[in-house]
């Protein structure tokens, strides 16, 4: 019975390369529309007219809309949570085992 030869892992593996393999690289086909794209601008290269900061107006009308928005969200949260509690209470009353 012959045993397979165990390789010597203490030595580095031989590198197989040929000059023909390194020079003959396969070219990946590229769509020619994407070859000559302009370079993107780096951060800080924006034109002054492109730098716009949104400024929220502090008028009574703007504050009123924000108040109504927050109040509506709070009222909706109370209605959803309260409705769930009422439905849970009704469910326990309706499906309670009768003596």
Residue of higher predicted confidence among 75 and 18: 75
pTM (2 d.p.): 0.38
SS3 21: helix
How far, in Å, CA of 72 to CA of 19, rounded? 74
H-helix or E-strand containing 73?
helix 60-94
The pLDDT-based confidence of 79 (bands split at 50, 70, 90) is very high
């Amino acid at each position: 019975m012959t045993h397979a030869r165990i390789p010597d892992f203490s030595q580095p593996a031989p590198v197989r390369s040929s000059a023909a393999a390194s020079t003959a690289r396969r070219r990946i086909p590229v769509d020619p529309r994407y070859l000559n794209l302009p370079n993107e601008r780096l951060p800080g290269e924006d034109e002054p007219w492109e730098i716009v900061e949104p400024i929220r107006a502090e008028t009574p009308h703007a504050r009123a809309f924000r108040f109504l928005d927050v109040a509506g969200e709070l009222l909706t949260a109370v209605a959803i949570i309260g409705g769930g509690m009422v439905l849970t209470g009704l469910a326990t009353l309706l499906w309670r085992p009768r003596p």
